[in-house]
């Protein structure tokens, strides 16, 4: 096994955004992860970049001009003027308008875009963007805490150089926005493992959703029931991904590592441990295909931080201690202060062996239907999304950072950053 060249994208401002009081999505988790990554010394084995910020133009590669224009203009102060637009763009409770919303989208989307570019130019084998992975965002609207779909925009960039891109999603929720974007094409195969049934958000992802037209058989869905554990999950994940590789033979992979599939998640209902979740990441890494790794959901902050720190270590082949290093956030990890605490499951595993074997077989039978490795004539390669001179300008100009005034507004509810016991008192919050 050869060690991979890993690029890691992190904007120090991205953890300062705040969705609002009581909202389960806490960008602050990104600051906690970065702090652990540094204290474990993981930055020594990868290249760290302050990423490019995506422009309106970049976002409109997928989204409609009207929707992105709305995201750019709406603020908590002027929201009254947009009353009619809010429901049209599905902005409100789940996807609130908060201070710096557009900047937040620019940061997480720019990081995925630059990661895709670095992979295209062979500057790295693995690109990591824990701030990305917002898989629910749609062309015309926000959905499930996601506004701009950085994954779709990253994949579109990869498609400039790659004939076939594989998307793998291990978030507890169905990767509906990405599936929908590529439902009609064989250039991207989407494979999502998720909880399905009983109106679990977003309500799509049944195994019978297989793609349409040229894309028929190129959407793969693995619907699990609640409570799935490490052994059951991997028992399906491994053969499905192995078969996908055999039949599809992608030249690039995007892996969405949503951590709401971990046991004890505030919104999720699976029973994976950080080791079980990480096993999937390691399996994908060992396929030796250029891979863009992104984050996604994850609503019990301390466990998200553990999971993505551990997965960073797996991606760079560095063994790290189970004892967490001291950071200013150490109190979050009480009482064990460990990387891999014992898994406490809230529910029985509702997935019988027979059920898991049946979905694995169904997926295999469909994969046999796809034409082996579809290819495209790659004529003129379009130019990269970001020109080198733009990137340099960005790095040299710290003024593009959020103004202090805006930052002050974003941090006004400091306690919301802390995913303490109070947050855990509302496990039934319906989102």
Is 201 within 8 Å of 229 (Cβ atoms)?
A: no
Q: Is 215 in the site for Zn ion (CB under 5 A)?
A: no
Stretch that binds Zn ion, among 16-24, 163-171, 181-189, 420-428 (CB under 5 A): 163-171
Q: Please return the burial class of 72, using the count of CB atoms within 10 Å of its CB with bins 0-12, 13-18 and 19+.
A: middle
Stretch that binds Zn ion, among 24-32, 169-177, 182-190, 371-379 (CB under 5 A): 169-177
Between 159 and 263, name the residue whose CB sits nearer to Zn ion.
263
Between 125 and 419, name the residue whose CB sits nearer to Zn ion.
419
Q: Which tokens go with 118?
A: 């670095």
Least distance to Zn ion from the beta carbon of 269, Å? 11
Stretch that binds Zn ion, among 59-67, 291-299, 328-336, 357-365 (CB under 5 A): 291-299
Between 260 and 416, name the residue whose CB sits nearer to Zn ion.
260
Between 157 and 171, name the residue whose CB sits nearer to Zn ion.
171
Is 356 within 8 Å of 240 (Cβ atoms)?
A: no
Which single residue brings its beta carbon nearest to Zn ion?
Answer: 297
Least distance to Zn ion from the beta carbon of 296, Å? 6
d(CA 15, CA 308): 15
Of residues 357-416, those binding Zn ion (CB under 5 A) = none
Between 125 and 260, name the residue whose CB sits nearer to Zn ion.
260
Of residues 232-261, those binding Zn ion (CB under 5 A) = 258, 260
Of residues 9-38, those binding Zn ion (CB under 5 A) = none
Q: Which residue has the tokens 């169904």?
A: 362
Site pattern 50..89 for Zn ion (x: CB under 5 A): ----------------------------------------
Q: Which residues pair with 125 in a beta bridge?
A: none
Least distance to Zn ion from the beta carbon of 75, Å? 27
Rg (CA), the chain: 20
Least distance to Zn ion from the beta carbon of 258, Å? 5
Between 45 and 346, name the residue whose CB sits nearer to Zn ion.
346
Stretch that binds Zn ion, among 75-83, 89-97, 167-175, 339-347 (CB under 5 A): 167-175
Between 114 and 423, name the residue whose CB sits nearer to Zn ion.
423
Among 4, 28, 173, 174, binds Zn ion (CB under 5 A): 173
Phi then psi dihedrals of residue 398, to 5 deg: -70, -10
Among 51, 132, 205, 297, binds Zn ion (CB under 5 A): 297
Of 23, 136, 162, 194, which one is the catalytic site residue? Answer: 136
Stretch that binds Zn ion, among 164-172, 233-241, 362-370, 395-403 (CB under 5 A): 164-172
Q: Which residues pair with 169 in a beta bridge?
A: 192, 256
- Count of positions on this chain that bind Zn ion (CB under 5 A): 5
Establish whether 136 is a catalytic residue: yes
Q: Is 171 in the site for Zn ion (CB under 5 A)?
A: yes
Least distance to Zn ion from the beta carbon of 86, Å? 23
Least distance to Zn ion from the beta carbon of 298, Å? 8
Of residues 314-333, those binding Zn ion (CB under 5 A) = none
Pairing type for strands 165-169 and 252-256 reads parallel
Question: Residues 195, 196, 202, CA angle at the centre, nearest 5°?
Answer: 95
d(CA 320, CA 281): 16
Q: Which residues pair with 167 in a beta bridge?
A: 190, 254
Between 358 and 431, name the residue whose CB sits nearer to Zn ion.
431
Least distance to Zn ion from the beta carbon of 272, Å? 13
Q: Is 133 in the site for Zn ion (CB under 5 A)?
A: no
Residue numbers annotated as active site:
136
Residues that bind Zn ion (CB under 5 A): 171, 173, 258, 260, 297
């Amino acid at each position: 096994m050869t060690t991979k060249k890993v690029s890691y994208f992190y904007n120090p401002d991205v953890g300062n955004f705040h969705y609002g009081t009581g909202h389960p999505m806490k960008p602050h988790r990104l600051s906690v992860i970065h702090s652990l990554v540094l204290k474990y010394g993981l930055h020594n084995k990868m290249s760290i970049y302050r990423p490019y910020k995506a422009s309106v133009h970049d976002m409109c590669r997928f989204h409609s001009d009207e929707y992105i224009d709305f995201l750019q203009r709406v603020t908590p102060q002027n929201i009254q003027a947009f009353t009619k637009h809010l429901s049209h763009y599905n902005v409100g409770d789940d996807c609130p308008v908060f201070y710096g919303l557009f900047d937040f989208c620019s940061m997480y989307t720019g990081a995925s875009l630059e990661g895709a570019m670095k992979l295209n130019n062979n500057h790295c084998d693995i690109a990591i963007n824990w701030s990305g992975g917002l898989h629910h965002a749609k062309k015309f609207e926000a959905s499930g805490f996601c506004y701009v779909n950085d994954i779709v925009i990253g994949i579109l960039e990869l498609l400039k150089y790659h004939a076939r891109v594989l998307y793998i999603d291990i978030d507890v929720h169905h990767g509906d926005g990405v599936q929908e974007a590529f439902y009609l094409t064989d250039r991207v195969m989407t494979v999502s493992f998720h909880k399905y049934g009983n109106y679990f958000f977003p309500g799509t992802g049944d195994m019978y959703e297989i793609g349409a037209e040229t894309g028929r058989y190129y959407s793969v869905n693995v619907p699990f029931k609640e409570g799935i554990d490490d052994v059951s999950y991997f028992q399906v994940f491994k053969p499905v991904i192995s078969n996908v590789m055999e039949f599809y033979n992608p030249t690039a992979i995007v892996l969405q590592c949503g951590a709401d599939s971990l046991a004890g998640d505030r919104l999720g209902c699976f029973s994976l441990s950080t080791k079980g979740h990480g096993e999937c990441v390691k399996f994908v890494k060992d396929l030796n295909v250029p891979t863009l790794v992104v984050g996604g959901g994850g609503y019990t902050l301390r466990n998200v931080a553990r999971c993505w720190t551990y997965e960073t270590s797996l991606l760079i082949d560095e063994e790290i201690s189970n004892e967490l290093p001291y950071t200013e956030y150490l109190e979050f990890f009480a009482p064990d202060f460990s990387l891999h605490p014992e898994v406490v499951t809230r529910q029985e595993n509702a997935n019988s062996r027979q059920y898991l074997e049946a979905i694995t077989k169904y997926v295999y039978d469909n994969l046999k239907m796809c034409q082996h490795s579809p290819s495209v004539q790659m004529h003129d390669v379009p130019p990269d999304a970001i020109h080198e001179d733009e990137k340099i300008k960005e790095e040299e100009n710290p003024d593009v950072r959020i103004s202090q005034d805006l930052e002050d507004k974003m941090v006004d509810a400091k306690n919301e950053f802390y995913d303490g016991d109070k947050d855990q008192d509302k496990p039934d919050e319906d989102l």
